[in-house]
């Protein structure tokens, strides 16, 4: 039997970190002693108090059913309070604006599957996280790469983007603090992103896993409630 994979997998290729980790493993087997700085995987155990709570909870007889498909209400409420405390976002609705995930890849894939149709285009940063491209292609979308440069502080060149045909662009991925450069965002950058998205009806998706790493002023795109560009004021709905 010759079972072939679906056409949507054509051109996807192996995940970058999968091939890189295999390469590192082979080098280590050859005695090279490679130090892997590619993935932020914890190498220390949780605090003993955390382990104790996990053990106590696992012993209860009412915690082994399927989870809610949108996460525990207590957890979603805690996430809303966390955004209020650290990002000054005070009006997130835990019931319909917060969705816990297994990880960023799940969220990136779900967003692409939810919003993209065949032929829709997506703006993807270059350099940037390889998963953006894979998820867009799997959902049937077409990646459009926008260059990030040191000369422009690793921010999108909005003037150059405005010259492009954006009629088929439905979504834009942004990632600040940026991977791999580490560039932190500014309020002005987020205001420009919001204005750009509203002007062209593009969904701006801020992938923000590094906000608290070596950063005393964590920022979130959700903290930008309005912005001004010239005489026009754009308010988020």
Sheet holding 203-206, edge to edge: 142-147, 121-126, 169-174, 203-206
The domain that contains 119 carries what CATH number? Answer: 3.40.640.10
147 and 184 in a single domain? The answer is yes
Give mean pLDDT, residues 211-235.
Answer: 69
Say whether pLDDT at 232 is over 60.
no
Considering the domain boundaries, does residue 12 fall inside one? no
Return the higher-pLDDT residue of 183 and 20: 183
Same domain, 187 and 164: yes
Domain count within the chain: 2
Would the pLDDT of 130 be above 60? yes
Same domain, 137 and 226: yes
Give the pTM: 0.83
| pLDDT score for 186 | 92
In-domain check, residue 2: no
Domain boundary among 100, 117, 143: 100
CA distance 123 to 90: 29
What pLDDT is recorded for position 216? 83
197 in the same domain as 171: yes
- Dihedral sign for Cα atoms in the order 167, 191, 139, 12: positive
> How confident is the model over 150-157, as a mean pLDDT?
96
| Tens digit of each residue's pLDDT (9 = 90 or more) over 105-126 | 999 999 999 999 999 999 999 9
Q: Is the pLDDT of residue 233 over 60?
A: no
Q: Is residue 129 part of a domain?
A: yes
Indicate the range of 57-61, 78-82, 171-175, 222-226 predicted with least confidence.
222-226
* pLDDT value for 41: 74
- Confidence check: pLDDT of 67 > 90: no
> What's the confidence (pLDDT) of residue 79?
95
Higher pLDDT, 37 or 142: 142
Percent of the chain with pLDDT strictly greater than 70: 94
CA–CA separation, 22 and 64 (whole Å):
36
Residue 41 falls inside a structural domain? no
Structural domain harbouring 147: 104-235
Residue 213 in any domain: the answer is yes
pLDDT confidence of 132, banded at 50, 70, 90? Answer: very high
Q: Is the peptide bond before 177 cis (omega within 30 degrees of 0)?
A: yes
Is residue 180 located within the same domain as residue 217?
yes
Q: Which residues of 128-158 are buried (b: 16+ CB within 10 A; e: fewer)?
A: bbebbbbbbbbbebebbebebeeeeebbbeb
Q: Are residues 126 and 145 in the same domain?
A: yes
CA distance 196 to 6: 35
pLDDT of residue 225: 67
In this prediction, residues 172-176 reach a mean pLDDT of 97
Mean pLDDT over the full length of the chain:
88
Question: What per-residue confidence (pLDDT) applies to 63?
Answer: 86
Which of the four pLDDT bands, split at 50, 70 and 90, describes residue 1? confident
User: pLDDT by residue (tens digit) across 49-60?
Assistant: 999 999 999 999
Residue 160 lies in a domain: yes
What is the predicted pLDDT for the residue at 36?
79
- Answer yes or no: do 125 and 162 share one domain: yes
Domain check: are 94 and 121 in the same one?
no
């Amino acid at each position: 039997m010759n079972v072939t994979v679906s056409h949507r997998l054509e051109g996807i290729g192996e995940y970058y970190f999968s091939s890189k980790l295999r390469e590192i493993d082979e080098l280590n087997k050859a005695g090279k002693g490679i130090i892997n700085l590619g993935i932020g995987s914890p190498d220390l155990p949780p605090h003993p108090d955390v382990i104790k709570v996990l053990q106590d909870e696992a012993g209860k007889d009412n915690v082994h059913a399927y989870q809610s498909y949108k996460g525990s209400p207590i957890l979603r409420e805690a996430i809303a309070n966390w955004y209020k405390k650290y990002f000054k976002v005070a009006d997130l609705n835990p019931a319909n604006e917060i969705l816990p995930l297994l990880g960023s890849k799940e969220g990136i894939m779900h967003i692409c599957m939810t919003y993209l149709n065949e032929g829709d285009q997506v703006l993807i940063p270059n350099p940037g996280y390889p998963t953006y491209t894979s998820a867009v292609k799997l959902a049937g979308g077409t990646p459009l790469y926008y260059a990030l440069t040191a000369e422009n502080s690793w921010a999108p060149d909005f003037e150059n983007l405005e010259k492009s045909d954006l009629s088929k662009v439905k979504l834009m991925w942004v990632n600040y603090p940026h991977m791999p450069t580490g560039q932190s965002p500014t309020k002005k950058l987020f205001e420009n992103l919001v204005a750009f998205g509203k002007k062209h009806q593009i969904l701006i998706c801020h992938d923000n896993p590094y906000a608290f790493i070596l950063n005393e002023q964590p920022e979130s795109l959700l903290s930008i409630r309005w912005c001004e560009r010239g005489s026009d004021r754009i308010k988020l709905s």
